[in-house]
Amino acid sequence: MAKEAIEQIIRENRKPHDPVIHIGEKSPFGVPDRSIEIPDRYVNLIIGRAGDNLKIISAATNTKIFMPIKNIDSSGVRVLEICGEDMFDIDDAERRIRMVIDD
């Protein structure tokens, strides 16, 4: 119950462009608007030090990004999830993530 109250306070006081990312076992953001398969070898590069790369992408695109902390199978791929209210922002977040992989 305390956890829900804290999360509610955070949601109510969040600034519109606060980066919202989560790296863990389960996404707190609900159903994703876009899912991207990320090979394991690129995960650390996409996340960045202390999540900096994902925070920058999230803030720049006004999206919420979830990265699983580990694979659920042995495929060598993780499914990154993007949530947002505007498809342009979601497309932009995906483009920025793919640019990190392509560099």
pLDDT tens digits, 67-97: 998 877 778 899 999 999 899 999 999 999 9
What pLDDT was estimated at residue 81? Answer: 95
Of 30, 19, 4, give the one whose Cα is nearest residue 89: 19
pLDDT band at 56 (very low <50, low <70, confident <90, very high): very high
The pTM of the whole model exceeds 0.85:
no
What is the enclosing helix (H) or strand (E) of 5?
Answer: helix 2-13
Give the start-to-end residue ranges of the domains of the chain: 19-102
Q: Is the pLDDT of residue 66 over 80?
A: yes
Helix (H, G, I), strand (E, B) or coil at 20: strand
Q: Is the pLDDT of residue 4 over 70?
A: yes
**Sign (positive/negative) of CA torsion 7, 11, 12, 15?**
positive
**19-102 CATH, one of 3.30.1370.10, 3.10.105.10, 3.40.50.2300, 3.40.50.300:** 3.30.1370.10
